[in-house]
Structure 1
Amino acid sequence: MEYSEETVQAVEELPPYVPGTRFSGVLRHFGVSLADMIPRWEDGFRKFHPDARFEDDLCKASGIIGVMTGVAELGASGRESVLTEFLSFGEKLKRMPAEIAVATGALDVAGGSYGLAAFVHESNPITGLNVDQLDGIFGAERTGGFKEIRWNPTAARGAEKDIRTWGQLGLEDHWADAPIQTYGFAQTGMTTFFEREVFGGGRKWNPNYREYVEAGSKQQAPGALTTKDMMAALSENPYGIALAGLYHADGFEHVRPLQLAPHGSEAFYAPDADSFATRKYPLARNVYLVVDPGAEGPQAEGTREYLRYVLSRDGQRAILDQGVYFPLPQEILLRERAKLS
């Protein structure tokens, strides 16, 4: 990926890494390579801490498991943690993990924690939706949602906010009474992300939601409907709307992504490199390093020192060399750094 001058300049304006202490021990990652960002960050950290060593098990398992079981200080994860992982961590360590966002996910790279787009048929006159409308279309009446392990009743909403016809979105003529037909992923990290960001942690979906698995993934069993089938169906259905990554539309001429507006905003953003880099687009994703915030001792201080490097100008510059993820905007980076104090 070629990053814009604005994105590169935004990285240069981030605070530089200034070592707070000298670390000479071993740090361990468990989980995924984060599109090979882990070795890049390790190499960069050793330039400041030449005696630091790393022992990694990047086995593509859930990163939080390694931290919970004590085999790693850093759980590398390309998705949000799920309820059962929070529960297990809490039962074992009597506290919640800290999910530290370390980069923005990819725009359109398979396996790169890509953001979600809402696709419609090219004949559909609608141009954009806000996040509350996405909730109305894809979600259902609920009494709350989970925030980590706690039930949050403020995420509740009534059935009156369901959006089931295109007329409820202002479309007229033959669109007015046409039912909205929804498509998307089977239960995966993508649906967990959407539930957290759009449903407030709720898990009740529109009853007509049609589920598909990622084409070419390990979830694809013989006869399973995949994301290719989903986009093929949408390309023939003027009344459909699908959640997918941008690259899923490759080869399908009759579908297009909508502009989306964040909560409480009237500004709409197309899913493109600029809106992902600035995080104005509401369905861009994070990638994470999960840690135990209650850990103590030299290893814990070394972990915090390493994360301070990752969340610095130097650590974020390494993302520009990778070319898959986006560096974090300064306001998000500073928010994540505050979790380390």
Structure 2
Amino acid sequence: MRLKSAFAVLSVAALVAATGTAAQEDKRPTGETYEQILARLGDGMRENLIIRGEHDSRTEARKHKRFYTDLQPLADLPPYRPAKQLEGRIRVSGLYLHDGLIKDQWIEAFQRFHPQVKVEIVPKGTIASGAVDIETGPRISDRLRAASQYELATGERLFEIDWATGSYNVPGWSPGFVIFVHEDNPIAHLSLDQLDGIFGGSRTGGWKGTTWDPGVARGSDRNIRTWGQLGLKGEWADKPIAIYGRPLKYNIQLGFERKVFKGGDVWSETTREYSHEANADGSRYSSSVEMVRDLSGDRYGISFSDMGSNRPGVRAVPIGWTAKGPFVPISMQSLRDRSYPLFIEQWAQVRLAPGKTLDPLVKEFLTFMLSRDGQDAVQRDGKWITLPARRAAEMRTKLEAAGERVDPHALGLHLKQIAPAKWDGESPDEAKRTDPAKAYYRSQFDLSGLPAYQPGQAFAGTIRMPASGQLMEGTAGQALMAAFRRIHPAARFELKDGDLINHKVDLSIGRKWSTYFAGEFYDFQLKHDRSPREFQVATGSLDVTGWSPALAVYVGSNNPLKGLTIRQLDGIFGGPRRGGWVSTTWRRQAGRTAAENIRFWRELGVKGSCANQPISVIVPPLKYHIMSVFERKALVGGNIWNDSAHEMPLVLNRDGSRRSPESDRVSAVARRRCAITFADSGVAVPGTRMVPIARDGTGPFVLPTLTSVQDRTYPLHLEAYAYADAEPGRQIEPGVREFLRFVLSREGQAIIAGDGKWLPLTAAVATAERAKLDIVVPQVTAK
């Protein structure tokens, strides 16, 4: 189900309060925390209804329109000739494939050759779930979390081909990237390496699929930050390049990273992000249109967008694959022959078991897609562009390949570090140091202030929950269920891994659902037109790896730094930003300016040998899940990082055993006396120390201890969450609600404490979370 395009009218005053409005550019930064913005402006459900509703309306208006009517000769493509008649059923997914004109043409043409085959083209469905045989749409390998989860579940590499080129200027149909500059800018052309230098930052490697490739590293010496570095003279020579872009977690950014950064994910911290937003009048603020409009008023700006956003005052720059050229302007022809480097492909992904060849029917349909018959339907649809003959031949050859097995020793492909399951903790136990059955903490916490459990109506029925994850690996899960059954003897629990989004379970307990890039929270909203119900059920551990240990900040032991505030952490690790992701919505209230950057130790009052040295920032690769956690905790949901940050991926020992990535980063700090990193609070490396952290400038500075993490005076604690569903206007299902009341009671939190890994909630947090159980959320509506 899509978010609807027509909704009940919402008053303008209410909408302004709900959205913060896109027009409030000058009100940032507010200095609010992530939690304060979330509490004031909400989780983004209403904004997403507006944005997605208008998107769907525009797509609806385009889907049956032929934008390009000049039919090209396709004689260099082979006609489709089946080797033999097949029978069966094949299911293909793809929203734009389903909504366009191509769907009926493909079905009719293929079934003419294979009358015993039923072809179904559906708007949604993944190969990972087994719902479809061929999945089309955004390239899965660009979306590292989705690719990692797929490979973790199957043990096989993704098999993918591209079968068309995106459009020239049709929004939604993958228009090619265009590099725009102001019309007065004298730059003649740019190469891909120059684009890398302009838009990217230094990097220690990049992603080749789900594998970290250190071979694409580059240093800051290749950064291009002024127009003079590109050879411009006179007034242009010393002018900084102002970058106009989009939030770095949009799919479009990921494609740009692959094409221009060779899979790197560090962007110039001067990138000015433009997001789709909700205006006060209920209309959508379109990122690409507004971005190029603003660029037209900035002589020293540059952006990548698409020809559909072209306007007076800007011009498109010809691009070359190399510095030697040729430098090619974007056009229908340069996209057809792919001489223009920044085309966008249309991808098809299928399951292919290691050592096996493609299923005959799947192979036959892919062959048809790559044939003259299949491509003729592409051009008659009038939006996408046909595949060049040479590329089609390469893809047909690829169809003969056997499936590849995931290499567990591939550098960087350690999947839970990138994409932990929803019912796991925020930071996985990569080095396998934790015994799930062991109670690491035996402290007696004072739980007398927590509400005692008073049973409501007796519950008889079944509650479905995931069978794996930290709750079930330790002792807490079984103990909570057993205690609940003693009070409600007719209650039953069914344990089987599944997804709340698809209603395979009733309750999911584990890490916080990532709210935009990972997509769990947003996907739920997209599917159900409502938000999932979220509850904190425990505090993360102090230092038990895998059980959401508190984040700690490490410097060299000789560094005299007395402490850091959260905003100072933002200034060190983050970059200036136009906004950030607070839940599923881009909020400009999360923005900040370059004035808050902290790049030298002297800016923190540090004296001595490091005072005038740059702060050497060491972090995990930016695509690792833990980075989205740090973004929420310290960067107010922003995803612009210090563009000189040094990424250190998880690596293996020589014997193939796993190293501790946290220890590796802290050890690097010990070697570099003016460095800083964050890691689990349980890391102990000689020559380093943890830095006390304060919520704000009023203090106090606090070190992570069992007490300060449990009572949450230490700001970088983590949490464990429960997710449930409820229809608008209705409470959560009685059994789930009653079980969560027990978990959030004094008795339930005593069981959490007795497990000895996660820590019990404070009385204030438990009371607030229990109160949320009684809230009935109305239907969210928008104009």
The TM-score normalised by the length of structure 1 is 0.90
Q: CA deviation at 1:324?
A: 0.8
Q: CA deviation at 1:262?
A: 1.3
Q: Tell me whether 1:179 sits opposite 2:240 in the alignment.
A: yes
**Superposed, which structure 2 residues align to 1:57-76 within 5 Å?**
57-59=122-124, 66-76=126-136
Identity %: 35
In 2: Cα distance, 1:71 partner to 1:293 partner? 15
Question: 8 Å contact 2:180–2:304 — kept in the other structure?
Answer: yes
User: Which piece of structure 1 moves more, 133-142 or 226-235?
Assistant: 226-235
Q: CA deviation at 1:232?
A: 2.0
Question: 8 Å contact 1:155–1:200 — kept in the other structure?
Answer: yes
Structure 1 consecutive aligned stretches of length 4 or more whose deviation exceeds 4 Å: 1-5, 222-225, 295-299
Q: CA deviation at 1:299?
A: 8.7
Alignment partner for residue 197 of structure 2, among 126, 136, 140? 136
Question: 8 Å contact 2:205–2:216 — kept in the other structure?
Answer: yes
Counterparts in 2 of 1:297 and 1:207: CA distance versus 1, 3 Å: closer
Q: Provide the residue aligned with 2:589 in structure 1.
A: none
Q: Tell me whether 1:203 sits opposite 2:261 in the alignment.
A: no
Aligned amino acid, residue 109 of structure 2: G
**Superposed, which structure 2 residues align to 1:120-135 within 5 Å?**
120-135=181-196
Alignment partner for residue 278 of structure 2, among 221, 224, 234? 221
Q: Provide the residue aligned with 2:571 in structure 1.
A: none
Q: CA deviation at 1:326?
A: 1.1
In 1: Cα distance, 2:357 partner to 2:196 partner? 45
In 1: Cα distance, 2:396 partner to 2:270 partner? 41
In 2: Cα distance, 1:183 partner to 1:232 partner? 10
Q: Tell me whether 1:337 sits opposite 2:396 in the alignment.
A: yes
In 1: Cα distance, 2:388 partner to 2:286 partner? 37
Q: Provide the residue aligned with 2:459 in structure 1.
A: none
Q: Tell me whether 1:326 sits opposite 2:385 in the alignment.
A: yes
Structure of higher CA gyration radius: 2
Aligned amino acid, residue 96 of structure 1: R
Q: CA deviation at 1:80?
A: 5.2
Counterparts in 2 of 1:265 and 1:193: CA distance versus 1, 3 Å: farther
In 2: Cα distance, 1:46 partner to 1:269 partner? 40
In 2: Cα distance, 1:205 partner to 1:90 partner? 27
User: Which piece of structure 1 moves more, 256-265 or 295-304?
Assistant: 295-304
Q: Provide the residue aligned with 2:83 in structure 1.
A: 20
Q: CA deviation at 1:2?
A: 4.4
CA RMSD of aligned residues (A): 2.1
Aligned amino acid, residue 339 of structure 1: K
Alignment partner for residue 147 of structure 1, among 208, 222, 231? 208
SS in 2 for 1:85: helix
SS in 2 for 1:12: coil
Q: Provide the residue aligned with 2:557 in structure 1.
A: none
Q: CA deviation at 1:327?
A: 0.9
Q: CA deviation at 1:104?
A: 0.6
The TM-score normalised by the length of structure 2 is 0.40
Q: Tell me whether 1:42 sits opposite 2:107 in the alignment.
A: yes
Aligned amino acid, residue 308 of structure 2: Y
**Superposed, which structure 2 residues align to 1:237-276 within 5 Å?**
237-249=298-310, 252-263=311-322, 265-276=324-335
Q: CA deviation at 1:200?
A: 0.7
Q: CA deviation at 1:57?
A: 3.0
Aligned amino acid, residue 134 of structure 2: L
Counterparts in 2 of 1:171 and 1:39: CA distance versus 1, 3 Å: same
In 2: Cα distance, 1:145 partner to 1:153 partner? 6
In 1: Cα distance, 2:370 partner to 2:289 partner? 37
Say how many residue pairs are matched. Answer: 326
Q: Which has the higher contact order (CA 8 A, sep 6+)?
A: 1
Aligned amino acid, residue 15 of structure 1: P
Aligned amino acid, residue 49 of structure 1: H
**Superposed, which structure 2 residues align to 1:261-340 within 5 Å?**
261-263=320-322, 265-294=324-353, 300-340=359-399
In 1: Cα distance, 2:262 partner to 2:256 partner? 9
In 2: Cα distance, 1:70 partner to 1:145 partner? 30
